[in-house]
Amino acid sequence: MLSVSNLNQYYGGSHILRDLSFEVPMGQVTTLLGRNGVGKTTLLKTLMGLVPAKTGSVSLNGADISGAASHARVRAGIGYVPQGREIFPRLTVEENLLMGLATRPAGTRVPERIFEMFPVLRQMMHRRGGDLSGGQQQQLAIGRALAMGPRLLILDEPTEGIQPSIIKDIERAIRTLAETGEMAILLVEQYYDFARSLADHYLLMERGEIISRGRGDEMEVNRVREMLSV
């Protein structure tokens, strides 16, 4: 679904992303791991068109989107849940979810499966987003991204600052979404156990490069946990 080839990115004189190439297959979870400062969030901003790539290409479902604007990438089928959630705090839960329908035809309803995965959102439809707990806001951010029916879902550290019970809810939701076969999922994460539990494939970044990759069930034998803690 997503194909990245020879991607390079610079900030000033610093080479942030170094010749990255990888794929995110349909119907599977690809986890991208790495410590703070290795370039993970920069990579996601580049994939979303928030910052332009210096060189390289990004393709979605076989179409080159390297020069496309952010809104065009969303319209093409990319759902993005940024680090820090970035919900609209003064809008209600319902209004936040409706924002996710901006690329859909007028009159489209919020998909029922969002409320099946995250029942608390239905219970709090008329509560302002800023009044929710951090975990509830994360569920809302994921629901907003799912509302538009993405073909590729990108999640940037969804466990950050979230209580364990809601981490389990998010884990179940991601696994359910992958099992439908309707989308590819790129999960960026520092929490090893969460990433390992969901990964069909993994990518490990260090200093802007991918230093290890493989199947999710190879993460232990490939000593990914140890490399993350070095």
Nearest to 229 by CA among 31, 33, 35: 35
Widest pairwise Cα distance in the chain: 51
Domains contained in the chain, number: 1
| Average pLDDT over every residue of 164-190 | 92
pLDDT at 83 over 90: no
Q: Tell me the pLDDT band of 230, cut-offs 50, 70 and 90.
A: low
Integer-rounded Cα radius of gyration of the chain: 17
Phi, psi values for residue 221, rounded to 5°: -65, -30
Q: Are 78 and 33 in contact (CB under 8 A)?
A: no
* Spatial separation of the C-alpha atoms in residues 85 and 229, rounded to whole Å: 26
pLDDT tens digit string along 116-148? Answer: 999 999 999 999 999 999 999 999 999 999 999
CATH classification at residue 94: 3.40.50.300
Cα–Cα distance between 154 and 140 in angstroms, integer? 15
Average pLDDT value for residue range 181-207:
94
Half-sphere exposure of 105 (CA within 13 A, CB side): 0
**Amino acid letter at 186?**
L
Which structural domain, as residue segments, surrounds residue 59? 2-229
What is the average pLDDT across 172-176?
93
> How confident is the model at residue 185, as a pLDDT?
97
Q: What percent of the chain clears pLDDT 90, i.e. is strictly above it?
A: 83
- Asked whether the predicted pLDDT for residue 218 surpasses 70, the reply is yes
pLDDT at 184: 97
Average pLDDT for 16-43: 94
Residue 104's pLDDT band (cuts 50, 70, 90) = confident
Among all chains, which residue has been given the structure tokens 């302002």? 128
pTM of the model: 0.93
